[in-house]
Structure 1
Amino acid sequence: MTERPSQSWRDGVAQEIRELAAGTLDPECACMTELFPEPLIEATEEVLTDFETDVVALDQPTDAQVFACVEKVVLALNAVNERFGGAAYETGEREDLCGYIDETLSERGIDVPALACRHGLGRYEITDRWRDW
């Protein structure tokens, strides 16, 4: 299964904490816990868990069913972003989340480039209709 971006954030926070404790990182250079507070990571994890459950439940999905899953996860991530002042997901996080959505669908056998093409979209545009982050 594709690694969730939230796991990468959690790993980065843990690494920063270790480096601070070891004295190998200047506290003024530490930013991971500020960028990725545990409540943000947990909220994102919950959304991604629901998305994975929805995608696994798809059996010979129609395009409409796939887009319904994408819409649901994107709207839920929009809500998380809003709870954190509209700045929870910056450029790198947005790219990671969109890549995660793409990879999760692909792992389930959904041909994301073909899906996007059938709807006049580029592969990485399938979230754009709903995405605020």
Structure 2
Amino acid sequence: MAKRPPEDWRAWMAEVAGEVAAGRLEPECAGAAEMYPESLLRATDAALAAFEAEVRALVEPSDEEVFGTVERVVLALNAVDEDDNHGGAGYCTEEREQLCGYIDLTLSEHGVDVAALAARRGINRAEITDAWRDW
């Protein structure tokens, strides 16, 4: 099963904290907690969990059903990214790439041929989130 990006973000934060604790990194150089506040991580996890549940429920889905699922997760992630409760933290380029990769991999793991799905829409597989994505 695809690993949710917040797992990687939490691991990175723990690694940075370890470097600070070991004295190999100055505390002022460790902005990990500010990049990934727990509210952002929890909200992202919740959006991705809902997406996973929707994808698991798909049985021989039409393209419209798959794109509907993608649209809903992207809109949920847009809301997370725009939420002021995260202290200004949100998704940047690296996070965007990880989230898009996660969506693609999750669909693929559940039998969706993402490349063919995208081709039928006349887009590249990397563009399946673009119609709705603000982050």
User: TM-score higher than 0.5 here?
Assistant: yes
Q: Distance between the aligned counterparts of 2:87 and 2:73, measured in 1?
A: 19
Cα RMSD, aligned residues only: 1.2
> Among the aligned pairs, what percent are the same residue?
58
The CA deviation string for residues 27-77 of structure 1, in whole angstroms up to 9 with x for no partner, is: 122121110111100110000000000000001111011001000000000
Gap runs ≥5 in structure 2: none
1:122-133 matched pairs, under 5 angstroms? 122-133=124-135
Equivalent residue runs for 1:1-133 within 5 Å: 1-83=1-83, 84=86, 88-133=90-135
- Contact 2:2–2:106, Cα closer than 8 Å, also in 1: yes
Contact between 2:40 and 2:89, CA under 8 Å: does it hold in 1?
no
Unaligned ranges ≥5, structure 1: none
Farther off after superposition, 38-47 or 24-33: 24-33
CA deviation vs aligned residue, 1:73-96 (integer Å, no higher than 9, x gap): 000000000104775000000000
Question: Mean Cα displacement is larger for which, 76-85 or 31-40?
Answer: 76-85
Change (3 A) 1:117 1:91: same
TM-score if structure 1 supplies the norm length? 0.96
Give the number of aligned pairs: 133
The 2-side partners of 1:20 and 1:40 are apart by 23
The 8 Å contact of residues 37 and 89 in structure 2, kept in 1 or not, is answered as no
